[in-house]
Amino acid sequence: MGASGALIVLIMVLGSLVLWVGVPGGWLWIGSQVQGSTGDLSTALVVMMVGVVVSVVLIAGVLAWLNRKHEELREARGLSERPTSVLERVLVVTAAFAIVGFSVWFFGFAGPGPSIAPK
C-alpha cells in the first residue's frame, strides 16, 4: 500500500471512531445543553435524534467516498480485488474497539447512576 492509500485508511479509521464514539457522545452533550436551557426533555431528544441521523448519513457518505478512492488507488496499482473492502474491515475493527472501550468505562469507571431521594 502506498502512502496515499495508507493516509486514506488512516482517515477512514479516524472517521469510523468519530462515527462510533464522537457522534453519540457529542449529541448527548448537545442534548444535555438543550434540555438545560429549555427545561424540555422532548425537545432535547428530538434535537439529538435528528442530529445523530444527519451526522451518521454525512459521515457514512464521506467514508464511502474514501473507500471508492482507495479502491481506485488499488486498481491504478494493478492490485486484485478483495472479497471485502477496506472500509468494511475498518468499521468492524473500530466498532470492536468502541465496544471494548465503552465496556471498560461502563463497568470500571462510570460509578453508580443518579440517586433518587425518597419522598
What tens digit of pLDDT does each residue of 87-97 get? 999 999 999 99
State residue 1's pLDDT score. Answer: 65
Q: What is the mean pLDDT of the chain?
A: 91
Residue 114: pLDDT above 80? no
Q: Are residues 37 and 46 in contact, defined by beta-carbon separation less than 8 angstroms?
A: no
Q: In whole angstroms, what separates CA 73 from the centre of its chain?
A: 25
Half-sphere exposure of 41 (CA within 13 A, CB side): 0
pLDDT band at 75 (very low <50, low <70, confident <90, very high): confident
Give the model's pLDDT for residue 8.
Answer: 93
Rounded to an integer, the average pLDDT of 6-23 is: 94
The cell for 118 is: 425518597
**Residue 46 has which C-alpha cell?**
428530538
DSSP 1: -
Query: What is the pLDDT confidence band of residue 103, given thresholds at 50, 70 and 90?
Result: very high
Alpha helices (H) along the chain:
3-17, 23-38, 41-76, 86-104
